[in-house]
Copies of this chain bind each other. A is one copy, B any other.
Amino acid sequence: MADTTSTNGGGDPMTGLAHSEAHYFNSYNHHGIHEEMLKDEVRTKSYRDAIYNNRHIFKDKVVLDVGCGTSILSMFAVKAGAKHVIGVDMSTIIVKAKEIVAANGMSDKITLLQGKMEEVTLPFPEVDIIISEWMGYFLLYESMLDTVLWARDRYLRKDGQGLIFPDKATIFMAGIEDGEYKDEKIGFWDNVYGFDYTPLKRTALTEPLVDTVDLKAVVTDPCAVLTLDLYTVTTADLAFSLPFNLPIRRTDYIHALIAWFDIEFSACHKPVRFSTGPHTRYTHWKQTVFYLADVLTVEAGESVSGQLGCRPNSGNRRDLDIKIDYRTETGDVHRKAEGHCEYKMC
């Protein structure tokens, strides 16, 4: 018999499906990333709402979709009345996107170009609106923001009437109690079938973990650390070091700091927003977990403050070097703690 009580084995007790939904995106799957993004309803419906509910903005406009993937955003824009949409993507998914656009009778409204944004030739000298779903894990990891900013500077109309969907992104942090899982992820390496695997423990501690965090694990208030305004931000701004302060909500331990981001389409008649935080619905971005070398012992009313630093790795700009300095703000000398952790997303 199948071990149906196992976390991993058997079907999903909540959905009753033969397969475990939860394992879904683990699967070997050629177009898996596009399937995952499309099925991320928080993401896709936010874009849909931002576009469909603002037909007065899209009507007769020329739109550029940066990193168009399967062209879902391009088709939303056509449905919202755009005069023409140009979709650009480096990936061979563009071949499928062309078939999809044709299947939906929009080939005359959407021009799809495979190549680097910086290298393709657009059929219009400038565009009225840029739409893009460019966000990566931790907002910035393997993100296409650089490309969006390049497209903004090169193609967005220069009269101040050009719009970017979305146009605002904010990184938040919080502290979590996570002893059991930290033990499983980090402590595991202390004894692997009787062997000392601590060389991999050191690596594990420097790797942020992208995973879903239960709201109940959150011990602090959130803190907005960085807000990017896509009309004004430059590539240089993506290397930063900024302070954070996390008020402690309850007496507990802190094993990790987490980060997530919120996205806003503020050009909408009524702004559309979504969050990738632990307090709201699952998105494929989940949250990013930074385990601390120490366990912090904190009490309600105190706080953890520090500095979050992030910059592209000098050797490989796709990798992120992240630094976190932290200290507990407490009057209890026995619980004072401070530290400095370095992480790499690569």
Task: Give chain A's interface residues, CB within 8 Å of chain B.
Answer: 1-12, 14-31, 34-35, 38-39, 44-45, 48, 70, 72, 75-76, 79, 96, 99-100, 103-104, 137, 141, 176-178, 180-181, 184, 188, 192-200, 203-204, 207-217, 278-282, 286, 289, 345-346
Q: Is the CB of B5 within 8 A of A178?
A: no
**Do A9 and B197 contact each other (CB < 8 Å), given the known contacts A18-B217, A209-B27?**
no
* Assembly CA distance A5 to B214 (angstroms): 12
Chain B residues, Cβ within 8 Å of A212:
8-11, 19-20, 23
Chain B residues, Cβ within 8 Å of A104:
195-196
Q: Is the CB of B48 within 8 A of A193?
A: yes
Chain B residues, Cβ within 8 Å of A29:
207, 209-210
* Assembly CA distance A177 to B216 (angstroms): 38
**Do A27 and B211 contact each other (CB < 8 Å), given the known contacts A18-B217, A72-B195, A282-B3?**
yes
Chain B residues, Cβ within 8 Å of A100:
195-197, 199-200
Q: Is the CB of A103 within 8 A of B70?
A: no
In this complex, the member of A7, A8, A282 whose beta carbon has the largest number of chain B beta carbons within 10 angstroms is A8
**Do A72 and B192 contact each other (CB < 8 Å), given the known contacts A8-B22, A96-B203?**
yes
Q: Is the CB of B48 within 8 A of A99?
A: no
Q: Is the CB of A24 within 8 A of B196?
A: no
Chain B residues, Cβ within 8 Å of A282:
3, 6, 8-10
Chain B residues, Cβ within 8 Å of A22:
7-8, 20, 22-23
Chain B residues, Cβ within 8 Å of A8:
21-22, 212, 282
Chain B residues, Cβ within 8 Å of A196:
100, 103-104
Q: Is the CB of B345 within 8 A of A28?
A: yes
Q: Is the CB of B214 within 8 A of A31?
A: no
Chain B residues, Cβ within 8 Å of A141:
28
**8 Å CB contact of A214 from B19, B26, B176, B211:** B19
Chain B residues, Cβ within 8 Å of A199:
96, 99-100, 103
List 8 additional A-B contacts (Cβ < 8 Å) besides A10-B214, A28-B141, A104-B195. Answer: A1-B279, A2-B214, A6-B282, A8-B22, A17-B181, A18-B217, A100-B197, A103-B198
* Assembly CA distance A200 to B29 (angstroms): 12
For A208, give the chain B residue with the smallest CB separation. B28
Chain B residues, Cβ within 8 Å of A31:
200, 203-204
- How far does the Cβ of A215 sit from chain B's closest Cβ, in whole Å? 4
